[in-house]
Amino acid sequence: MRQEIYQRLQHREELLRFVRLHPIWYRTLARDPNAFADLEKQANYFYGKTVPQRIGQFGEQLSMVNMLIQMARAMRD
């Protein structure tokens, strides 16, 4: 793996952890350093950081808060 790619991975620990979990990326980046953008996309999807995933997480949290409010109202009555 090229030194500049490894340095970029060291600056972003999350990507380094992803590469260690998925060793195929060592080979991919060694052969094609331009695949770093693809690595970032895959890591974001893996860690749930894409926009649709974040919206889904927010919706789940919102429904949980709504349920807690309803429970509080039911206990108050």
What's the predicted TM-score (pTM) here?
0.75
- pLDDT exceeds cutoff 90 at 1: no
pLDDT tens figures, 35-50: 999 999 999 999 999 9
Question: Phi first, then psi: what are they for 74, rounded to 5°?
Answer: -65, -35
Mean pLDDT of 57-70: 96
